[in-house]
Amino acid sequence: MSNLINTLKWRYATKKFDATKKISNEDLETLKEAIRLSASSYGLQPYKVFIIENPEVRAKLQPVSWGQSQIVDASHLVVFANIIDFDASQIDAFLNNIVATRQIPMETIAGYGDFMKNTLGALPADVRNNWTSKQTYIALGNLLSAAAELKIDATPMEGFEAEKVNEILGLKELGLNAAVFAALGYRHEEDATQHYAKVRKSNEELFINL
């Protein structure tokens, strides 16, 4: 456990990446698997994840991302996009995946499927869209921890204009919305932020035992 805590102490939101250093294919696959294995509500994973390397695409994204250098200098840019208007069809796809993966009859999980459809279907569209957006942050957390374990720097980013990002990436046509970014790569030696002491609330201030 001490290794985990030391790893989390090592990571920080990198402000300046070394654009000459790239993540290996092997490490990238590990990070993707960490995202794929992330927890999500009902296990539905109501989002898509874009791994963007193309420099031309990232150059278009930078101006609508507050001009932040991480967008273009990081090795990879990850865009978590939540599904808009999540409906019964996605639940049916999930149920079919359960049947195929666990080799069980559909009728054994039909009740569970109906429960999800009734529960989520009763939510107003804006509430349901907010719910799918929240799920991306769970996957983001997994990615940050996995990257730190590999000594890969990661910066979670909310500083962007979602509508313009959606337009650049064609997300609306796919029924998606840009929820949160993560820039991945390796810190530049000139990034002074890496030397700052980590500032967090004390245990006494943060935790409440009942």
Please state the φ and ψ torsions of residue 155, each to the nearest 5 degrees.
Answer: -125, 110
pLDDT value, residue 191: 98
pLDDT value, residue 204: 98
Helical residues (DSSP H) of the chain, grouped into ranges:
2-10, 25-36, 55-61, 70-73, 88-102, 110-121, 125-149, 162-169, 203-206
Q: Is 199 exposed, middle or buried, given 0-12, 13-18 or 19+ CB atoms closer than 10 A?
A: exposed
Q: Which amino acid is at 49?
A: V
pLDDT value, residue 1: 60
Closest CA to 132 of 76, 184, 74, 171: 171
pLDDT value, residue 2: 81
Q: Are 188 and 163 in contact (CB under 8 A)?
A: no
pLDDT tens track, the chain, 210 positions: 689 999 999 999 999 999 999 999 999 999 999 999 999 999 999 999 999 999 999 999 999 999 999 999 999 999 999 999 999 999 999 999 999 999 999 999 999 999 999 999 999 999 999 999 999 999 999 999 999 999 999 999 999 999 999 999 999 999 999 999 999 999 999 999 999 999 999 999 999 999
- What's the CATH number for 2-188? 3.40.109.10
Q: Which amino acid is at 40?
A: S
Q: HSE, CB side, 13 Å, CA atoms: give it for residue 129.
A: 11
Where exactly are the structural domains of the chain?
A: 2-188
- Alpha carbon distance 172, 166 (integer Å): 6
pLDDT value, residue 49: 98
